[in-house]
Copies of this chain bind each other. A is one copy, B any other.
């Protein structure tokens, strides 16, 4: 996360809220929380702000199996085990890399079917558009 382009007050508010949270949160939850704190902003602004922060490389998103996206700061490594049936997503203590050591990293018992490793960033065309605009 290099220098962030200037944030609007609302974007900064969203960013600061994420800083205070240790867990992932959905856009809807951010919206509800900020309204609770008497911030007068719209839901669309939350989505737009999150997208902006994501394009800066400051915020990361993860899609839950129910189709909902959860957001958090780009910082420590995130590793989860997710149940394909009920969708429960349990964070792991550390990155096992090897499936053999997974049971040690996981308190609960999971029967693992598969895993995915995915990198997120900007492709060449989009990166150019970002640097220009």
Contact = CB atoms under 8 A, between A and B. Distances in A.
A122 to B, nearest CB: 5
Contacts of A119: 79-82, 99, 102, 110, 112, 114-115
B120 A114 contact: yes
Interface stretch (A10-18, A25-33, A34-42, A59-67): A59-67
A34 to B, nearest CB: 23
Contacts of A111: 57, 121-122, 127
Q: Which of A81, A97, A113 has the most CB of B within 10 A?
A: A113
| Interface size grouping (class) on chain A | 35 or more
A84 interface: yes
A123 interface: yes
A110 B57 CA distance: 12
Contacts of A115: 117-120
Nearest to A1: B113
A113 B74 contact: yes
Which A-B residue pairs are the 5 nearest by beta carbons? A85-B126, A57-B113, A112-B121, A83-B123, A63-B63
Given A55-B84, A115-B118, 4 more contacts: A57-B113, A84-B122, A85-B129, A113-B122
